[in-house]
Structure 1
Amino acid sequence: MKKTFATLVTVLALVISGTTLNAQTKKDVKVNDSKIVWKGYKVTGSHEGTINLKSGSLTFKGDALTGGEFVVDMTSLESTDLSGNMKGKLDGHLKSDDFFGVENHPEATLMLTSVKATGKNAYNAKGKLTIKGKTNPVEFTIAIYGSKANATVKVDRSKYDVRYGSGSFFDNLGDKTIYDEFDLVVDLVF
């Protein structure tokens, strides 16, 4: 009887410790301490600005990143390289239906679907990015250092029906062409 009880306790301890080892931990992103910078490019130059994270979390198994999900507040979209009337015009245009249509699409989302370690603190992340109600796959590298993470995500706006000034949709734009790819430089604190 003692041997059976000892075996049962040992098996129970192994099951509990195995469950703990396999447990995933979700860490909320501190949205007020995190930052997303966007950079858009055109034939004659570029513009940049910020956009706020509404919510987000990263999922870990031990110290290893395994997933994440994020919601971006599209209504917070603004330029930082202009001021005055020019800033107001660009910000309004970016929020209009010509670009991101934030009145009808106030949020964008990113759901990480696959994360693989590529080094001590680096991961290759694949996910589903939704902008203007359209979802497409994205792939990028994310680095984790303590309670901080950073990544640069290249987004092809043509896949999200953001057509204004795009050479993919319009001919003969010349120096009015705005390139389809833009960058999101993301710095997260969790």
Structure 2
Amino acid sequence: MKKSIKNLGIIAILAFITFSFTMFNNGDKAIKVKESKVVWKGYKVTGSHEGVIGIKSGTLSFTDGELTGGEIIMDMTSISNTDMEGEYKTKLEGHLKSDDFFGVKSHPTSKLVFQNIIATGKNSYKISGNLTIKGITKPITFDMSIYGNKANASLKIDRTMYDVRYGSTAFFDNLKDKAIYDEFDLVADLEF
């Protein structure tokens, strides 16, 4: 009798945990912008630079514990550099915010909207979506992993598709060691 009661208790606890986890991972979950981080890294012939971009808002959508949608709005006015200090840091940040790059006065936000999501394994997804930078929307595909209330994604973006052409050898000749590669990386560590 005691063994049956103990087994029923264990089953009840497991059912409660499963139910709680499933309920937690249903619906729209707001991204916690202060706890989340997006790191950018750009490459040039002579090296690279990196920094962070703030998230303005975002949600991830779940059905039966599976990722089914999402939208993230980036605050482009917050773009900053983390590998330099002083005058050079200030100059680079100003240049990134100028019309040569992201034109943040006219385009203060960028947006990523998930369109199609395919589960590729436990906690991992292949996502196709639309990325808008400088008012230009293009399709993008990337991988995302989700563990509990955290998500991680890595994106490789061709900046020239969004009219960010400064220092691109695809548009300018004789740049030599001043050339900046067209692709840059974003790594997002999100909490929701």
- Measured against the shorter chain, the TM-score band is 0.7 to 0.9
Is 1:159 the counterpart of 2:139? The answer is no
Q: CA deviation at 1:129?
A: 0.2
What is the Cα deviation at residue 143 of structure 1?
A: 0.1
Alpha-carbon distance, 1:172 to partner? 1.5
* Corresponding residue to 1:91 among 84, 90, 93: 93
CA distance in 2, matches of 1:41, 1:31: 27
Shift of 1:177: 0.6
In structure 2, what is the equivalent of residue 114 of structure 1?
116
Match of 1:41 in 2: 43
Task: Give the TM-score normalised by the residue count of structure 2.
Answer: 0.86
Q: Give the TM-score, by structure 1 length.
A: 0.87
**What do residues 132-156 of structure 1 show as CA deviations (whole Å, max 9, x unaligned)?**
0000001000000000000111110
Q: Which amino acid aligns with 1:115?
A: I
Equivalent residue, structure 1, for 2:140: 138
Corresponding position: 1:68 with 2:70: yes
1:160 corresponds to which letter in structure 2? Y
Q: Which residue of structure 1 lines up, in the alignment, with residue 7 of structure 2?
A: none
CA–CA separation in structure 2 for the residues paired with 1:136 and 1:170: 23
Distance in 2 (alpha carbons) for counterparts of 1:42 and 1:28: 35
Q: CA RMSD in A?
A: 1.3
User: What is the CA–CA distance in structure 2 between the aligned matches of 1:120 and 1:64, rounded to whole Å?
Assistant: 10
Are 2:91 and 1:81 aligned? no
The 1-side partners of 2:183 and 2:76 are apart by 18
Deviation at 1:171, TM superposition (A): 1.4
> Equivalents in 2 of 1:74, 1:168: separation in Å?
24
**Distance in 2 between residues matched to 1:65 and 1:34, nearest whole Å:** 18
**Pairs aligned (count):** 169
Give the SS at the match of 1:128.
strand
- Tell me the SS of whatever aligns to 1:113: strand
Moved over 4 A (4+): none
Corresponding position of 2:179: 177
Structure-1 residue corresponding to 2:14: none
1:188 is paired with a residue whose SS is strand
Equivalent residue, structure 1, for 2:30: 28
How big is the shift at 1:168?
A: 1.2
User: 3-state DSSP class of the match of 2:174?
Assistant: coil
Deviation of 1:62 (Å): 1.2
SS in 2 for 1:118: strand
State the partner residue of 1:127. Answer: 129
